[in-house]
């Protein structure tokens, strides 16, 4: 299947939708390509239609913004100005003499190819969670914080009955309060950041009163749901057992209300499952303070240590990165002609920043495709909001931090690369005895990062153990691709222009 558009937008989250609507409103025919079954991205993840959610807004904040985006998208689709390709997993964007080919794989099996030809491309692929390993993190019942949120928002499923939410970052707040509001008992919120770090950035926080109000709402919700909060603490170990069993896929919540307490799906029998975590206080050096350990019973640990941008597609196009973020100019253009980027692929900064960047990108693209110079006065309000939010999230990024000595929690037996089952001991041996000093050399010596996820889960941990900074990965494709699809790629467009 081959589609033809003037603009291909990869990603139907806040950034991609804002850009698609802004460009389409200015006469550009847009094709939005997204791996999800519905538009919304991570922030506005929607429950599947057949679940019949009565009040999906109960699981969201800023619902009115979503209604505006959703209605705008529907209106442009109805008018034939936007095409929305769902369940399309983009594995490569190729540059040609006459534009671009976006290569995707269709459906849950991701085996059927689809191509979109376009004159310009906007990358709005968002970010993914960073999780740092610790003993027991691979037990059933340990999920990522965003994963727990996605189960709730997308499948109306609670991951268990009693949860600990842990790690670091602002995402832990909506996750803890969202799970508690849906009926799960949240036994503790464990945040490794030091509250004093927030005082150091007081001015940046004070400049965003709306964000402060949002923070106050989370604090009130934590109090209301009697969630105990441990700051400057970390999870030292997750413990498994077979005593109480557990549920494979948790309880269900419809329209934000928990439906009874009954479990769906089968019991996990025989195997180990999470039954408690040990948390401990951190000292000024970021080490666990001996004697402060406490055990908290739970069947779910929702854990996350911040977010990382998705940059695979930008990297293969040759776009320049700033650190781990796609570099863009004031119009959200990358340094590759015809390629724009917006939202968390250009740096982690929340949904409001993604919306502002997407809007600016859409207007810039519409003007450039029409062969005119865009007038930045048209997006002045969005640009002001972008400046304020970038400043705010730089302070957020500086204040939230995993424990400085987190690698000391990884024992030699702890599995670090889950796909290839490579342990902390094997990685330390590669570093200490075989001289590996970077993620790639560790990969060649141990296979860490060589599996299905291609290091997306373990690269940060491997870099920490190797004592090097996390660098862009330079994967040739954003997804695994069947050989047959690879062999036929480009038949619709001929040979690509670039290297
Ligand atoms: C798991 C998770 C949960 C989150 N939960 C919250 C929350 O509860 N509250 C909160 O304030 N913030 C949350 N965030 C952060 C918030 O989602 C972001 O700030 C916001 O959604 C960023 O918008 P975006 O448009 O840049 O990217 P996203 O909303 O992430 O949208 C990117 C879209 O691109 C698609 N995509 C990516 N790569 C490809 C590809 N190769 N092919 C096809 N499609 C692709 C994705 O499916 C997604 O729909 C969460 C983030 C994550 C990762």
Q: How high is the pLDDT of residue 140?
A: 95
Q: For the chain, how many structural domains are there in total? A: 3
250 vs 56: which has the higher pLDDT: 56
Instruction: Please write the tens of the pLDDT for every residue from 352-362.
Output: 999 999 999 99
- CA 43 to centroid of ligand 1, rounded, Å: 6
Instruction: Please write the tens of the pLDDT for every residue from 120-130.
Output: 999 999 999 99
Least confident of 13-27, 120-134, 237-251, 389-403: 237-251
Residue 117 and residue 265 share a domain: no
Q: Report if residue 161 sits inside a domain.
A: yes
Nearest residue (by CA) to ligand 1, atom 41, is 90
- CA 283 to centroid of ligand 1, rounded, Å: 34
> Of 336, 331, 332, which Cα lies nearest the Cα of 319?
336
Instruction: Please write the tens of the pLDDT for every residue from 138-164.
Output: 999 999 999 999 898 887 889 999 999
- The C-alpha atoms of residue 392 and residue 349 are separated, in whole angstroms, by 8
For a pLDDT cut of 90, what percent of the chain falls above it? 71
Least confident of 107-116, 166-175, 344-353, 488-497: 488-497
- CA 396 to centroid of ligand 1, rounded, Å: 18
Nearest residue (by CA) to ligand 1, atom 39, is 125
Token pair 């519409």: residue: 366
203 vs 6: which has the higher pLDDT: 6
- In testing the pocket of ligand 1, which one of 42, 147, 349 has its CB within 8 Å of the most ligand atoms? 42
Q: How high is the pLDDT of residue 1?
A: 67
What count of Cα atoms within 13 Å lies in the side-chain half-sphere of residue 263? 13
Going by pLDDT thresholds of 50, 70 and 90, the confidence category of residue 422 is very high
Measuring from each residue's beta carbon to the nearest atom of ligand 1, which residues come in under 6 Å? 10-16, 33-36, 41-43, 88-90, 124-129, 146, 149-150, 171, 174, 307, 310, 343-344, 350-351, 354, 478
Q: Does residue 180 surpass a pLDDT of 50?
A: yes
Residue 222 and residue 136 share a domain: yes
Q: Of the residues 305, 337, 356, which one is the last residue of a structural domain? A: 305
Q: Of the residues 290, 305, 320, which one is the last residue of a structural domain? A: 305
Q: Note the Cα 287 to chain centre separation in Å.
A: 28
- In testing the pocket of ligand 1, which one of 69, 126, 169, 396 has its CB within 8 Å of the most ligand atoms? 126
Q: Report if residue 476 sits inside a domain.
A: no
What atom in ligand 1 is closest to the CA of residue 350?
19
Residue 234 and residue 144 share a domain: yes
Q: What does the longest C-alpha to C-alpha distance in the chain come to?
A: 68
Residue 236 and residue 167 share a domain: yes
Instruction: Please write the tens of the pLDDT for every residue from 222-274.
Output: 999 999 999 999 999 999 988 654 443 444 444 333 332 323 323 333 478 99
112 vs 372: which has the higher pLDDT: 372
Q: Report if residue 220 sits inside a domain.
A: yes
Residue 322 and residue 225 share a domain: no
Q: Report if residue 81 sits inside a domain.
A: yes
Q: Of the residues 286, 305, 324, which one is the last residue of a structural domain? A: 305
Q: Report if residue 229 sits inside a domain.
A: yes
What atom in ligand 1 is closest to the CA of residue 34?
44
Q: Report if residue 455 sits inside a domain.
A: yes
- CA 354 to centroid of ligand 1, rounded, Å: 10
C-beta separation of 257 from 235 below 8 A? no
Q: Does residue 108 surpass a pLDDT of 80?
A: no
C-beta separation of 275 from 162 below 8 A? no
Residue 344 and residue 227 share a domain: no
CATH of the domain at 181: 3.50.50.60
3-state percent breakdown (helix, strand, coil) of the chain, nearest 5: 35, 25, 40
Residue 277 and residue 144 share a domain: yes
Q: Report if residue 277 sits inside a domain.
A: yes
Residue 159 and residue 262 share a domain: yes
Residue 355 and residue 213 share a domain: no
Residue 183 and residue 221 share a domain: yes
Q: Report if residue 36 sits inside a domain.
A: yes
Phi, psi of 96 (to 5 degrees): -125, 175
CATH of the domain at 429: 1.10.10.1100
Nearest residue (by CA) to ligand 1, atom 30, is 126
CA angle, corner 34, sides to 347 and 71, nearest 5?
Answer: 95
Question: What average pLDDT does the chain have?
Answer: 89
Q: Does residue 5 surpass a pLDDT of 50?
A: yes
Nearest residue (by CA) to ligand 1, atom 24, is 126
Residue 212 and residue 245 share a domain: yes
Residue 353 and residue 206 share a domain: no
Mean pLDDT (whole number) for 355-371: 97
Pure H helices in 434-498: 439-446, 459-466, 483-488
| Range of the structural domain that residue 90 is part of | 2-128+308-374
């Amino acid at each position: 299947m081959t589609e033809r558009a003037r603009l291909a937008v990869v990603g139907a989250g806040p950034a991609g939708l804002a850009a698609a609507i802004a460009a389409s409103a200015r006469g550009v025919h847009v094709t939005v390509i997204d791996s999800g079954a519905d538009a919304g991205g991570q922030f506005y993840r929607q429950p599947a239609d057949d679940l019949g959610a009565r009040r999906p807004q109960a699981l969201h904040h800023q619902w009115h913004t979503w209604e505006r985006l959703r209605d705008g998208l529907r209106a442009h689709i109805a008018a034939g100005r936007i095409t929305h390709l769902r369940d399309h997993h983009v594995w490569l964007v190729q540059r040609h003499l006459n534009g671009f080919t976006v290569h995707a794989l269709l459906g849950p099996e991701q085996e059927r190819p689809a191509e979109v030809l376009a004159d310009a491309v906007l990358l709005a692929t968002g970010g993914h969670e960073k999780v740092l390993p610790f003993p027991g993190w691979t037990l059933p019942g340990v999920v990522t914080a965003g994963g727990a949120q996605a189960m709730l928002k997308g499948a109306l499923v609670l991951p268990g009955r009693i949860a600990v939410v842990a790690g670091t970052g602002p995402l832990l707040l909506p996750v803890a309060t969202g799970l508690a509001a849906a009926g799960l008992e949240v036994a503790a919120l464990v945040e490794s950041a030091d509250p004093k770090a927030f005082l150091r950035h007081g001015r940046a926080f004070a400049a965003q009163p709306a964000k402060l109000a949002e923070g106050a709402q989370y604090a009130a919700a934590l109090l209301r749901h009697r969630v105990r909060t441990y700051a400057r603490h970390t999870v030292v170990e997750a413990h498994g057992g077979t005593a109480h069993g557990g549920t494979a896929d948790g309880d269900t919540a419809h329209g934000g209300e928990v439906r009874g307490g009954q479990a769906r799906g089968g019991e996990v029998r025989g195997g180990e499952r999470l039954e408690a975590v040990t948390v401990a206080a951190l000292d000024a050096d970021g080490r666990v303070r001996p004697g402060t350990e406490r055990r908290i019973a739970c069947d779910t640990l929702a854990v996350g240590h911040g977010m990382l941008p998705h940059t695979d597609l930008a990297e293969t196009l040759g776009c320049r990165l700033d650190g781990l973020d796609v570099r863009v100019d004031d119009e959200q253009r990358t340094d590759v002609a015809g390629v724009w980027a917006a939202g968390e692929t250009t740096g982690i900064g929340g949904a409001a920043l993604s919306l502002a960047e997407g809007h600016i990108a859409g207007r810039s693209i519409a003007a450039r495709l029409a062969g005119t110079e865009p007038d930045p006065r048209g997006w002045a309000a969005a640009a002001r909001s972008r400046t304020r939010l970038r400043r705010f999230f730089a302070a957020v990024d500086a204040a939230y931090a995993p424990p400085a000595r987190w690698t000391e929690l990884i024992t030699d037996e702890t599995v670090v690369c889950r796909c290839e089952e490579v342990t902390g001991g094997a990685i330390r041996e590669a570093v200490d005895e075989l001289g590996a000093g970077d993620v790639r050399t560790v990969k060649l010596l141990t296979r860490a990062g060589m599996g299905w996820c291609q290091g997306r889960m373990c690269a940060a941990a491997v870099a920490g153990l190797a004592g090097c900074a996390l660098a862009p990965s330079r994967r040739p494709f954003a997804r695994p691709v069947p050989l047959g699809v690879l062999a036929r790629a480009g038949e619709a467009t001929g040979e690509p222009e670039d290297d």
